[in-house]
Structure 1
Amino acid sequence: MSSAYLFAIAAILACVSILLVFKINIEKLKEYPENTAAIQTKFFIGVAIAEVIPMILVIFGMMDLTPVASIEELYIPGIIVIFALVFSPLFIFLQRSVGVPENAKQTVMTFSLIGIALANAIPLIALVSLIMILP
């Protein structure tokens, strides 16, 4: 398997798992906005656990960072990584705007911005890594 696909798999795994953790915690935050600190702590722990396998895949991909023979080898992994970069903010913005009580809007907005940054971290690393192996 090419290292480009390792980066693509890492991006999708990180995106899906972090968005799952985000969805669970934002629903709790919408119900109990007074428990912001505890919910954010659980979210950060969940993200740390969710990023273990994608980080291992990124490390394995970095170990085999040789340029590809032609750019066509990067089309599918590149599309996958760009899809992850576009899908995660879209999903988070949709979750942010549905069913938020008035007293929790600012807290949910802040939590959403943190979620976007964390959900796009691995896909951004994957995109930069794909650029590094261009012929």
Structure 2
Amino acid sequence: MSPYVFVAAAALAMIPILALFKINVEKLKQDPSLQARVQNNMMIGVAISEGLPILLIVYGFSQMESVAEISELYTPAIILLFLVIFAVFFIFLQKKVDVPEEAKAMVTQFSLISTFLVLAIPIISIVALFMMLP
């Protein structure tokens, strides 16, 4: 069960952060002068939405034990990789669609920051899965 705690933490971190990204990048596309406010809203939202996933990560590390066979980690690892690919693809698409020329630089910068924020918990989860190898 322990590998799935890390998968749950990654999913619970990524879904709200991607929703926040979508809302805030649309605001940034409409009015690029709101960059400071949009980034502030994004950081506050990320801090709030990562509370439960961080608790799940701590719980997962406290209950961690090696698995009997490596095949027990295949499904959680595939789910995590799918989540990571989905998040990067989602952010990449939002960066490319309907961006006015005057907002391109700000949207690109915001997208890069958001990519690193959305991948933080999944990277920790992947490392935890490697630590569970027999």
TM-score range relative to shorter protein: over 0.9
Rounded Cα–Cα distance in structure 2 between residues aligned with 1:35 and 1:17: 21
**2:40 aligned with 1:41, yes or no?**
yes
Which runs of structure 2 are paired with 1:1-135 in the superposition (5 Å)? 2-135=1-134
Structure 1 unmatched runs, 5+? none
Q: How many residues align?
A: 134
* TM-score, normalised via structure 2 length: 0.98
* CA offset digits 1:70-94 (Å, max 9, x no partner): 1111111111111111111100000
Maintained 8 Å contact 1:96/1:108: yes
Maintained 8 Å contact 1:12/1:80: no
Rounded Cα–Cα distance in structure 2 between residues aligned with 1:83 and 1:127: 12
* CA offset digits 1:6-55 (Å, max 9, x no partner): 00111111111110110010001101100100110000000111111111
Structure 2 unmatched runs, 5+? none
Rounded Cα–Cα distance in structure 1 between residues aligned with 2:73 and 2:98: 40
Moved over 2 A (4+): none
* CA offset digits 1:55-109 (Å, max 9, x no partner): 1111100001110111111111111111111111100000011111110000000
Which amino acid in structure 1 is aligned with residue 102 of structure 2? Answer: N
Tell me how large the CA RMSD over aligned residues is: 0.7
* TM-score, normalised via structure 1 length: 0.97
